[in-house]
Every structure is written in structure tokens, then in C-alpha cells.
Chains A and B, each alone.
Chain A
Amino acid sequence: DAGVTQSPTHLIKTRGQQVTLRCSPKSGHDTVSWYQQALGQGPQFIFQYYEEEERQRGNFPDRFSGHQFPNYSSELNVNALLLGDSALYLCASSPGTTQETQYFGPGTRLLVL
């Protein structure tokens, strides 16, 4: 059983560009959450998707947007990149039950120059 997968593993962009990160959830999981982990810090919640809609959002600007597809996979889009967007972006999936646990992918490391 494949776990949570993310692509690409690494990415280098310049300020002002746009980026799309992808996530495939663990089999049987319908809920996908995205987190940003800056260097030396704990992950911070960006948003969560299930039933193809954004259901919860953390304290991130509208430059961060997402999408969930019918097969439960998800994309994270960031527009107008800033240097401060450099971070490890983690995707987590969960089954959406009442006693759920979130399982994390390996992350995408984004460097903005």
C-alpha cells in the first residue's frame, strides 16, 4: 500500500513566479491537508480539502490556493512567489473518520530566489 506521495521533491523558482505542487493521498483517504514548514520551525496549517472543496484554512494569504480532484489527489498553487515562501511543503492525508490520524508525505522543498 503506497503511502502519501508528493511531487516534485525539489523546486527552485524566482520571485514573482507561480508554482504548483502535487499530492496523492494514502489509499482509502479522502481528506488532504497542506502544511508549510519553514527552516527550523514546526509545520503550519495552510488548508484542507475534502469532497473537492476547501473546508478549513489557516492564516495564509490568497496567493495560496488549492484544488482537489475526484480521485482525492490535490494541488497546492502559490502565486507571486516571495522569498519567504521558501519552505518544505508537506501534504497529509486522513480517512475523515472521527478518530483520524494524518499521515504525511515526504514533502516538496521549494526555494525561491
Chain B
Amino acid sequence: AQSVTQLDSQVPVFEEAPVELRCNYSSSVSVYLFWYVQYPNQGLQLLLKYLSGSTLVESINGFEAEFNKSQTSFHLRKPSVHISDTAEYFCAVSPQGGRRALTFGSGTRLQVQP
């Protein structure tokens, strides 16, 4: 079984400041790792994913995450946030292979203030 811990339920930050959203996971098997974003009253959108290869993965809107196997972490970072980044962010894992269920963390609410 897998579990995901998102250490911060809310992260307030000023516009143009850097941010880090923390995610740690537990699993007895190798996993894939994902970050999803949820805007108010909407479904989940895939932000970025780690399947294999380079441990640093990037999204098209400036977010990046680094897979750290020894620390079982997959923290999400952005060097400069915008008001439009205000949303709920979910870290998720699944066992490697096809057709596997996702296990989600409880989410981190990113609140970007002007």
C-alpha cells in the first residue's frame, strides 16, 4: 500500500515570491509520482509527473519538482508565483505499471497575495 503526506495544509505567499509545497510518500514498491492542481469548483489538472529518467521534472507554467528516492519526497517549487497560481495542489503516487490506482495526499492550498 502507498500513503502520501502533504506537510502543509495552507501556504500563503506574496506575488513574485518563491514557493515550495512539500510532499512525502511511503511505499513498499517503486512508484510513479504526480502533482495535480485543482482550481475552485473544477476537476483535477495534471501539473507534472515523474515516471522515470531525470529526477527533476518541469511543467509548462514554471513549476518544477524533484524526485528524491532516499528521502521519499517529491516537493513542488516555483521561483516566482502569480495570483493565478492560487489553487489547491495535490501530490499523488501510484505503483509502477499500467492501470494502477492513484493515492492522493490531503492537498495544500496555495494562496498568492498581491
Q: Interface code A56-76, partner B: CB below 8 Å = 1, 0 otherwise?
A: 101000000000000000000
CB atoms of A58 and B101 under 8 A apart = yes
Q: How far is the CB of A64 from chain B (nearest CB, A)?
A: 14
CB atoms of B43 and A105 under 8 A apart = yes
Docked complex Cα distance between A97 and B8 (Å): 33
Given contacts A90-B44, A99-B52, contact A42 B104 (CB under 8 A): yes
Question: Is B51 among interface residues, defined by CB-CB distance under 8 A?
Answer: yes
Interface residues on B, range: 20 to 34
Question: Is A94 among interface residues, defined by CB-CB distance under 8 A?
Answer: yes
CB nearest neighbor in B for A3: B43
CB atoms of B90 and A43 under 8 A apart = yes
Residues of A within 8 A of B42 (CB): 106-107
CB nearest neighbor in A for B41: A109
Q: Interface code B62-104, partner A: CB below 8 Å = 1, 0 otherwise?
A: 0000000000000000000000000000101000111111111
CB nearest neighbor in A for B4: A42
Q: How far is the CB of A41 from chain B (nearest CB, A)?
A: 6
CB atoms of A42 and B43 under 8 A apart = no
Apart from A33-B101, A45-B102, A90-B44, what are 8 other A-B pairs with CB-CB below 8 Å?
Answer: A31-B98, A40-B107, A42-B106, A43-B102, A90-B43, A94-B98, A102-B46, A104-B46
Residues of B within 8 A of A (CB): 4, 32, 34, 36, 42-46, 49, 51-52, 90, 92, 96-107
